[in-house]
Amino acid sequence: VEAILDKEKFTLEELLDEDEIVQECKALNGRLINFFREKSSIRQLIQYIVEEPSEEADRQRTFKFPFVACEIFTCEVDIILKALVEDDELMGLLFSFLDPGRVHSTVLAGYFSKVVVCLLLRKTTPLVNYIQAYPNIIRRLVDLIGITSIMEVLIRLSCADEHIYANHADTMQWLEDISFLEMIVDKFSSSDSPEVHSNAAETLCAITRYASPGLACKISSPGFIGSLLTHALEQSRPKSVLVNLLSVCISLLDPKRLTSGVYYIYARQTNFGSGSAANSETVQGMLERLGKCDLLKLLDISSDEHAMVTTYGKLQPPLGKHRLKIVDFISVLLAVGNGAVEKELIQLGAVKRILDLFFEYPFNNFLHHHVEHIILSSLESKNPLLVEHILCDCNLVGRILEAEKNFTLAVDLNKPTVPSEGKVPPRIGNIGHLTRIANKLIQLANTSSYIQAFLQEKSDWLDWHTNVLVQRNAVGNVLQWSCGRPTTLQDRGRDSDDDDYQDRDYDVAALANNLSQAFRYGIYNNDSIPEAHDSNEHEEDVYFDDESAEVVISSLRLGDVDQESGSLFTNSNWFEFE
């Protein structure tokens, strides 16, 4: 780089072609920074980012130069960013990428997004002032919301960034005065693209969680919720509209839950019925629409003629994302603990229909998770009518016992799930969820006299509990297993980034084989294994079979880590066996 800068004449391309150029920028090379701060240099860097290369362009122009140009801006050198953001001509060139007539490749959109986000973080006030002066920028960003990197810019702009909002709250208030939310919602009616619907919903979900009080108040208002559900239930629209708008409703009911895109998680695997801190007006707005709309009618599968062949048989029809999302929405709505919601769902027969789906689709574990949540929320409800409804009207105990008695998939061509012809019908896949529900019933009977009296009247339940459930729980109690695996189950209540590591189901044979390789190459010092000291004498790889793994597991206690040595095995001498 210095050699190029020493020349009397040199080009920007020569510098961009150097591998050390980004590191030199980060090191604040004075001569290099002075060159890049010039308007002509910044203009050319922006052109690499926003202008699609011609078909005849070489690989450097197509790939390397746009990437390096983006990296130079994102080095966050203040003098370069200042020169860019304070020049309207250069800013106009940067945002010309959004022009409708341009080709918007995802690669260049990513570079554009990184530069804009960098300006938003480091030069918030001047950037927002520029966007306010040219309101079409917001409209064009929303038009390109189907590109994920553009969606990220919108999320940052909508105050869904704690750093920006905390330091520039006054500057960011202007979004509340324009129809920003309406622009995003309009994409559900003006576009048929699932990517557009998904990204628009993810933007709205981010706003429900992090945005300014003004935007958050607007998005949770009954009028806005009515608009969302109106779009969701248009018969002519793709199912992705319904699925993604219900994700927004779920986020409004339970802001702590991430419900969209790559951020989707089940945050309450072990915290059923914990309740959600939802706005009462939000719940009321949804309740008003729920009684008027045909949302629950979509759970009816009788008129759906689709079919899908699976490894265990055939689904006629498949459950589908939209029905699964409706069940998810009902589960979150019920967990709010609102009496009016519970009354409405009882009148609409929603819980009973969803319980039917649980048994009609015995291999859909996503569905089983949500239905289990609904059942446990109902049983834990303070509303005795809901508890009575789930036990009596929905016949919960009777259906559990029926499924336990007939635990193989029924051969009935009129049912949604049909086993393969000529094969033995498989065992239904929701027995585990039924076991947990049954255990919850037993637990709640200790504190609820109504549930206890109800179960005591069921002689077949008492027999099943004594002869089946108690024994099943004993077998499933891993803390009593003689091998002591896994000890970390005692800490199931923790919430940390180490869950995946701690709960991993180790492959013992693979561990034993890896350890043999470690000894072979002398990683562990063990004098009694001569092969470990001379790898040249033993060229052939050593692998353990299942029989050898049995010897390993008899001496191994998984999950016990020697804190001093940091080794998975507390004593390496166990490895000496014939």
Which pLDDT tens digit goes with each residue over 143-186? 999 999 999 999 988 865 555 555 556 656 677 778 889 999 99
Please give the pLDDT value at position 49. 96
CA–CA distance, 511 with 568 (Å, rounded to integer): 10
Please give the pLDDT value at position 140. 96
CA–CA distance, 550 with 340 (Å, rounded to integer): 59
Calculate helix-pair angle for 78-85, 39-50, nearest 10 degrees: 80
Please give the pLDDT value at position 564. 43
- In 3D space, the residue among 340, 208, 363 whose CA is nearest the CA of residue 283 turns out to be 340
When pLDDT is cut at 50, 70 and 90, the band that residue 214 belongs to is confident
Contact 371, 362 (CB under 8 A): no
Cβ-based neighbours of 430, under 8 Å, separated by 6 or more: 358, 359, 362, 363, 365, 368, 403
CA–CA distance, 389 with 363 (Å, rounded to integer): 26
271 or 295, greater pLDDT: 295
* Mean residue pLDDT across the chain: 81
In this prediction, residues 513-531 reach a mean pLDDT of 48
- In 3D space, the residue among 178, 191, 183 whose CA is nearest the CA of residue 141 turns out to be 183
Domain ranges of the chain: 1-133, 172-257+279-289, 294-477
Q: Report residue 85: phi and psi, to 5°.
A: -75, -20
Query: In the 8-state DSSP scheme, what is residue 466?
Result: I
Cβ-based neighbours of 462, under 8 Å, separated by 6 or more: 455, 456
Contact 554, 508 (CB under 8 A): no
Question: For the segment 231-267, what is each residue's pLDDT rounded down to a tens digit?
Answer: 888 888 899 999 999 999 999 998 776 544 333 332 3
Please report, as a single letter, which amino acid is at residue 167.
N
Cβ-based neighbours of 48, under 8 Å, separated by 6 or more: 61, 65, 66, 69
Calculate helix-pair angle for 365-379, 321-335, nearest 10 degrees: 20
How many other CB atoms are there within 10 angstroms of residue 41's CB atom?
A: 18
Helices marked H in 51-147:
59, 65-73, 78-85, 88-95, 106-122, 124-133, 136-143
Please give the pLDDT value at position 297. 86
CA–CA distance, 535 with 526 (Å, rounded to integer): 14
Burial 19-35 (b: 16+ CB within 10 A, else e): eebbebbeeebeebbeb
pLDDT at 575 over 50: no
* pTM for the full predicted model: 0.77
CA–CA distance, 543 with 450 (Å, rounded to integer): 60
